[in-house]
Amino acid sequence: MDEKNQERDVYVAIADPTRRKLLRLLAETEELPLHELTPQFQMGRTAVSKHLAILKEAGLVADRKVGRETRFRLIPAPLQEIKDWVSFYEKFWMGNIALLKNLLSEE
């Protein structure tokens, strides 16, 4: 598969704080048009569109045309991969913290 056809990595997509904020905004509503998303950021419409395109490539956002505007919505399923990854490390740290508590209580 060549680079242009390859989907963008979900971890890369959420690495940017602007994209994480976009995801949060979209999670709070069913759909939002670009003209309502743009004022939430200190950047122009084109820059917000580029961030949305990256999220779309990662499968985190879908868009649809309604008349002249494009409306965006969150697709949360790809975030499950991140949740699973973080959960593994949460279990790791909770186990180690429990061991540390036991050691400290024995002393």
Tokens (6 digits) for 98: 């429990």
Instruction: Using only the alpha carbons of the chain, give its radius of gyration.
Output: 19
Domain residues for the domain of 28 are 1-76
Q: Report the number of distinct structural domains present in the chain.
A: 2
8/49 same-domain check: yes
Same domain, 61 and 106: no
From residue 99, give the alpha-carbon distance in Å to each of 5, 49, 87, 89, 91.
47, 48, 18, 15, 12
- 55 plus 72 within the same structural domain: yes
In this structure, are 54 and 83 located in the same domain?
Answer: no
The pLDDT tens digits for 11-65 are 999 999 999 999 999 999 999 999 999 999 999 999 999 999 999 999 999 999 9
Cα 62 to its chain centre, rounded Å, is 13
* pLDDT computed for residue 13 by the predictor: 95
* Whether residues 48 and 8 fall in one domain: yes
What's the predicted TM-score (pTM) here?
0.77
Is residue 55 domain-shared with residue 84, that is, in the same domain? no
Instruction: State CA 35 to chain mean position distance.
Output: 20
